[in-house]
Structure 1
Amino acid sequence: MHHAQDASLHRLQGATMGTTWSLRLANPDYAPLAPVQALVQQTLEAVIAQMSNWEADSCLSRFNGAAADTWHALPLELAQVLDAALYWARACDGAYDPTVGALVSLWGFGPRADPHAPHSGQPPAQAAIDRALQVCGHQRLQWQPQLRRLLQPGGLQLDLSGIAKGYAVDWVAERLRAAGWQHALLEIGGEIRTWGHKPGGQPWRVAVAGVAGDEPLAVPLVDGALASSGDHWHVFMHGGRRFSHSLDPRTGQAVAHALTSVTVYHDECMHADALATVLTVLGPEDGWQFALQQQLAAVFHSHPDAGQPQGLRRMTPAWQQRFAGSMQ
């Protein structure tokens, strides 16, 4: 445990979902933190048990491996995530789609024996992409939200990696608040949620990175969430082309545009997470229009080019309205 400069600000950390988590919380009464660590880990393990396609016996993996035309009762939390995923899939006309597991695996970004092994560096053949697309598509799902029942139409592979981490942030935050922790900053693999404030009453400040060489934005975050998506986390090169891990479910191809990262603010990290994925796939123009239409608070970063040698940072009106004058 790391003690920050303020003695009542404590930090916990751990590993989960192939990444790390960290929690900074105000602890003026110096309450024991072992129960907090246990609560966080238990909650994250519950998310993995329901939503991980890296765990063979998770609820998600059992659904993915099930026979055609079988109905499956989903636990409450998985149902909530699926509801949100399908909402955004419909809202963006399929630029985000939680049923693209077959496509993700085909590109080599899905579960594999060694998650840290380098990518094969070979994009799949078009015929293989076409075959994978035939078993994808949220329209193939029959979902009964009141009963929390989902039909496996046959061969469909759910992949909630664009939203489950954000949900994990929300669920941990909800349980910590219920346990009486009123001021904290929680981060899981770059997805962030805050509530309350730092000891001394100052807002939590979160660094939002941009393109290389750009000064990060220091964003004051009060009772809200930030999530980022972009092509600089997982990429491979082939034939002189840069291939992103962000796949367009409409075409089956890796996205190829000037956008390097998007950061989205939302009250809930689950929605911020999904929306960052949506905007990344839509790209700098269509994504910008979608963000305006949905009145999203978002910041877009684009690669440097001849016209913009330093790269480009664009903030939506909703972002400027929320954070204007308070960013450093």
Structure 2
Amino acid sequence: MKTFTDCEPLLRYSLSGPTMGSRFTAVFFAAAGLDTRPIQAELQAAVDRVDAQMSTWKPDSTLMQLNRTPLGQWFELPDELYQVLLAGLHVGSLSHGAFDIALGAQVSAWGFGPAPAGASATPRCTAATALTLDTERRAVRKEAEVSLDLNGIAKGFGVDELARCLERHGIQRYLVGIDGELRARGAKPDGAWRVALEKPEYGRREVFASLELADTAIATSGDYRHWRERDGQRYSHTLDPHSGAPLHNGIASVTVLAGSCLYADAWATALMVLGVERGARLAREQGLGVVFLLREGERICEVTVGL
């Protein structure tokens, strides 16, 4: 496979397409005359595959088929879904349950999922206790009724798939993303990739700060983009796995920098649940770069770890 070296004149290319209720973007630098049509097709196919396997909004997705599978019956997983399931369980274990992929029923009960708001949630059961994996067969078996939801990790994996697609084409300078989940490699000819860190304002977009990315991924979890109101109270879409209820701990957002967007995405949710003190301690243990934004009255306060 040919790679594009620093000795060649580089042009900026930008590709995009629909996915997961939003759009993916891929900005990269490569030699002039590059035929982007096969790259565009592969990028679209990559995110379509993730969506078809992991969406909770598509009744025929592989994940929803797994959710409907009877207890005790083995269900063989495609490679991508298997990787994400393993990563979700791994972060769940490392975070002591602050990240849990078995919150589907609770997500819908609070009005953030495909089922009607107020739908009754099944008795709480963690993914770690509900699932048995056969690593050789890449299969999973449910030991208890559980509704899996990968919305806190699948988008990050989709970004990693975009990155892998570009790298297969020898592209070494890129920034790919889906919404606020991004992954960068190399640098632009005129300097580092710079991305905006949003101020956590309800109903409007404003830049709080900017960060430089190089050979890293970034993901943000926050309370200001998706919420519901009940009896005049605003509730975040991020749930505490231990209570099954939306968070209300004063954290407006958590931004994580990690080696892959898959893990940045999952850890952003986990650290949001854990809070600043426990979250910062765990972030240091895991070697993560983190920005916590906290609400203190009308003020937004920043706490950074590893940056």
TM-score (norm 2): 0.90
Q: Quick check: 100-109 or 258-267, which moved more?
A: 100-109
Are 2:25 and 1:25 equivalent residues in the alignment?
no
Q: Which residue of 2 aligns with 1:171?
A: 161
Contact 1:103–1:133, Cα closer than 8 Å, also in 2: no
Question: Which of the numbers 106, 109, 112 marks the counterpart of 1:109?
Answer: 112
Of 259, 262, 275, the match for 1:270:
262
Are 1:256 and 2:248 counterparts? yes
Structure 1 residue 31, shift from structure 2 partner: 0.9
Label 1:217 to 1:277 Cα distance change in 2 as closer, same or farther (>3 A). same
Q: Pairwise CA RMSD of aligned residues?
A: 2.1
| 1:290 aligns with one of 273, 279, 282 | 282
Could you tell me how far apart the structure 1 residues matched to 2:182 and 2:206 are? 21
Tell me the equivalent position of 2:68.
65
Q: Tell me which residue corresponds to 2:211.
A: 219
- 1:54 and 2:57 correspond: yes
Structure 2 counterpart SS, 1:193: strand
2:241 partner amino acid: P
Count of residue pairs the alignment pairs up? 296
| Number of the residue aligned with 2:236 | 244
Counterpart for residue 196 of structure 1: 186
Query: Which of the residues 204, 207, 211 maps onto 2:196?
Result: 207
How far apart are the structure 1 equivalents of 2:230 and 2:110? Answer: 13
Residues 252-277 of structure 1, C-alpha deviations (whole Å, 9 max, x = no match): 11100111011000010000000001
Shift of 1:96: 0.9
Q: Aligned pair 1:94/2:97, yes or no? A: yes
| CA positional deviation for 1:137 | 3.9
Q: Which one-letter code corresponds to 2:264 in the other structure?
A: A
Deviates more, 1:205-214 or 1:255-264: 205-214
Shift of 1:20: 1.5
Q: Distance between the aligned counterparts of 2:206 and 2:28, measured in 1?
A: 29
Q: Contact 1:79 / 1:145 at 8 angstroms: preserved in 2?
A: no
Contact 1:98 1:138 (8 Å CA) reproduced: no
Deviation, 1:136, is 4.5
User: Kindly, what percent of the aligned residue pairs are identical?
Assistant: 36
Counterpart Cα distance in 2 of 1:49 and 1:211: 31
Q: Is the 2:10–2:29 Cα contact (8 Å) retained in structure 1?
A: no
Deviations 1:32-58 (A, max 9, x none): 222221111100111112111222222
Deviation, 1:7, is 8.4
Task: Identify the range of structure 1 (180-189 vs 289-298) with the bigger mean alpha-carbon deviation.
Answer: 289-298
The 3-state SS of whatever aligns with 1:155 is coil
Asked if 1:315 is matched to 2:307, the reply is: no
Corresponding residue for 1:80?
83
Which ranges of structure 2 fall in alignment gaps of 5 or more residues?
A: 1-8
Q: TM-score, structure 1 length as denominator? A: 0.84
Match of 1:85, SS state, is helix
Higher strand share: 2
Structure 1 stretches lacking a partner, 5+ long: 1-5, 114-119, 320-328
Residue 232 of structure 1 and its aligned partner are, at CA, apart by 0.5
